[in-house]
Amino acid sequence: MLILPVTEHENPKTANIDEVSTLDALRLINDEDKLVAEAVEKVLPQIAEATDEIVERLKNGGRLFYVGTGTSGRLGVLDASEIPPTYGVSYDLVQGVIAGGYDALYKASEASEDDRVAGAEDLKKRGLVQNDAVIGIAASGRTPYTIGAVEYARSVGCFTACIVCSPDSALENAAELAIVPIVGPEAITGSTRMKSGTATKMVLNMISTVAMIRLGYVKGNRMTNVKPSNEKLRERSLRILMAETDLDQTAAKRLLDEAGGDLRVALVMHNARVDSESARSLLQEANFVVENATRPGFQEP
C-alpha cells in the first residue's frame, strides 16, 4: 500500500471547490489558510531553538543557508534576498540555494529535485564549513535534493534544521532539528504552494527576523541598519533617524546627508558626537551594531 505524506492527501472540505461560486471557493481557501498560524504556533519552541543555534553561528562568522526545490527553494531565496537591504548585512550572510539554480525561480525545474548528489554539490560550491547553518525546506520532507544537502551539511559539522509540513519524513530524520507545522491537506490536492508555502514563509520570516534582532540590527522595532537603496527606504531612514534622535526633519536630513545617506553612520555620529569617518570606524569595530558602537567606553579616544 502506498503511504502518502499529509501534503498529498485529499481534503474532503474542498472536494466540491470546482462546483461552487467564486466567493465560496475563496471562503473555502480562506478557511484552510486560517489553520496555518495555529500550526506554526505549535512549533514555536523548535523555531526558537533553531534561531538561537543559528545566531550563535552567525555571531562567530558563520553563514545561514536555506536549501530547497520548487516553491520551497523559491521561498528560501526570497527570504535570503530580503535580509541585506532590510538589515544592512552582507549578501553572503544568508543565502538561498535552489535546485536548478536561479533559473528555477521563474521556470519549472522539477527534475532537479530528484538529484540527491546535486544538493551536496551545490553546498560544496558555496564553500560550506562547520561554522555554517543549513535549513532544508521541503513540504513533503522527501525531496532527494534537499535531503542530500542536509546530510552533507551535517557530515561537515554544520547545525542543520528542516522545515517540513508532513511528520516522520526522511528530511526530518536527516536534520539535527525539525520544525514541522502540520497544516493538513491542501485545498487543491498536493498544491503545497498554498498552506504549506504560507507556513514555510511564516517560519522563515520568524527565524531571519529574530536572528537579526539578536545580532543587534534592530532598535526597539526599528530597522536601524536599513540600506536606503530607494526613495521609500530613504524616507524611512529619515523617519527612523528623527525618532531615534528627536531631531526635526531639517536637522535630521542634514545629518543624514553628512553621513552619506547611511542611517547607521548618522546614528553613531549623533549619539557618539563624532564625525562621519570616526562613526564608520566605530561601526566596523562593532560589527555594524549601532548600539555597541555608541555605548560608553567603546568610543575611540
Name the active-site residue from 8, 53, 56, 82.
82
* Strand segments (E) across the chain: 64-68, 94-98, 133-137, 159-163, 177-179
Catalytic status, residue 300: no
- Please state, in angstroms and rounded to a whole number, the distance separating the CA atoms of residues 60 and 118: 28
Name the active-site residue from 32, 113, 151, 244.
113
Number of H helices, E strands in the chain: 12, 5
As to burial, measured by CB atoms within 10 angstroms (0-12 exposed, 13-18 middle, 19+ buried), residue 3 is exposed
Catalytic status, residue 82: yes
- Please state, in angstroms and rounded to a whole number, the distance separating the CA atoms of residues 183 and 288: 39
Show the cell assigned to 96: 538561498
DSSP 8-state symbol, 188: S
Taking alpha carbons only, the member of 36, 33, 31 closest to residue 20 is 31
- Please state, in angstroms and rounded to a whole number, the distance separating the CA atoms of residues 232 and 260: 17
- Please state, in angstroms and rounded to a whole number, the distance separating the CA atoms of residues 51 and 122: 23
- Please state, in angstroms and rounded to a whole number, the distance separating the CA atoms of residues 283 and 289: 7
Show the cell assigned to 196: 504549506
Can you say whether the dihedral through the CA atoms of 76, 126, 91, 135 is positive or negative? positive
Taking alpha carbons only, the member of 165, 156, 90 closest to residue 119 is 156
What is the residue type of 106? Y
| Residues paired with residue 160 on neighbouring β-strands, in sequence order | 134
DSSP 8-state symbol, 104: G
Just list the catalytic residues: 82, 113
